[in-house]
Amino acid sequence: MSGKKTNKSKIRNTLIVTGVIAVAALAAYILLFMPMNNIPSWISNIRDAFYASAFYSDFENNFITDNRYTYLLKGLGVTFEVTFFAVLLGIVLGVIVALVRSSYDTLKEELRGFGKGILYIFYKLCGVYLTVIRGTPVVVQLMIIYFVIFASSNNKVMVAVLAFGINSGAYVAEIIRGGIMSIDKGQFEAGRSLGFGYVRTMAFIIIPQAFKTVLPALANEFIVLIKETSVSGYVGLQELTKGGDIIRSRTYSAFMPLIAVAIIYLVIVMFFSWLVSLLERRLKNSER
């Protein structure tokens, strides 16, 4: 009961903070920028002081002049595009690798001959994949894929999706594998008592339960992946961080564009973290 109250309190506090920030931002926009007829003198004085300040001059130079804010908007769109498709690729790879590794751990005592040999080869290949991907930095993987493997390609978005998807797949694989191994072995026996083979037992009994268990962890992997895409600028992809860096290179002012990028990432992460907390709450409630 106390855990439920704690979750409700966290969600309520998050909503309150988000609401306060949204109201403050709207009020500031109306007070400083919204066109008005018959503006009260106190608002006119505030606007005059704001427009004459060094802060506004820096703000205008970084974001309004030449519509430089569009670099951030375009970069944000690319960030979401790369993240979305990389997550899909990561989940597909992760499920395949997790199934291979968990299947070998489960069936190695039962299988014999050619089938066991094939499964063992795939098991080892998956082990090499996990070792290499988790043992090297994602930015190095990105540069190898762009400058070595796809050196003749100009599709930077595709390269980024492949790099981050392959990297994410290694971590997703271990998340899903942990979920599968957490399911009681009696569930396998229950499936076989119903006449299911191993594949049908995994498909209809084990995977749905494991997926429900690991769903919050997969959502957190999505949040981590959003932040990891910030290194895409190493291959010239204009995502959010690169957009801020382009503004910095135009204005020779680092504070405004980099702080803006940091705030955008913070808001995105806070929003998706809130969604994950809601998801975890629903999953806990459904277990009761």
123, 101 contact by CB (below 8 A): yes
DSSP one-letter code for 37: S
Burial of 16 (0-12, 13-18, 19+ CB in 10 A): exposed
Separation between Cα atoms, residue 143 and residue 135, nearest integer Å:
15
Residue in the structure block whose two tokens are 């594949």 = 199
Collect all residues with Cβ–Cβ distance below 8 Å to 99 and sequence separation of at least 6: 180, 202
pLDDT at 140 over 90: yes
pLDDT in tens, 162-215: 999 999 999 999 999 988 888 887 887 788 788 887 778 888 888 888 888 888
Q: How does pLDDT run across 229-257, given as a tens digit for each residue?
A: 999 999 989 999 999 999 999 999 899 99
Give the least confident one: 4-8, 39-43, 186-190, 224-228.
4-8
- Distance (Å, rounded) from C-alpha 77 to C-alpha 100? 35
Whole-structure pTM value: 0.83
Query: Where are the chain's structural domains?
Result: 1-53, 75-287
Domain 75-287: CATH superfamily, name plus number? MetI-like (1.10.3720.10)
pLDDT digits (tens, 9 = 90+) for 30-74: 777 777 777 777 778 887 887 888 888 888 889 988 899 999 999
Residue spans of alpha helices (H) in the chain: 2-32, 41-51, 54-59, 69-107, 113-135, 138-144, 156-182, 186-193, 198-201, 207-228, 240-251, 255-287
Least confident range from 12-16, 26-30, 130-134: namely: 12-16
Predicted local confidence at residue 287, as pLDDT: 60
The pair of three-digit structure tokens given for residue 173, joined into one six-digit string? 């694989």
Looking at residues 94-115, what average pLDDT do you find? 81
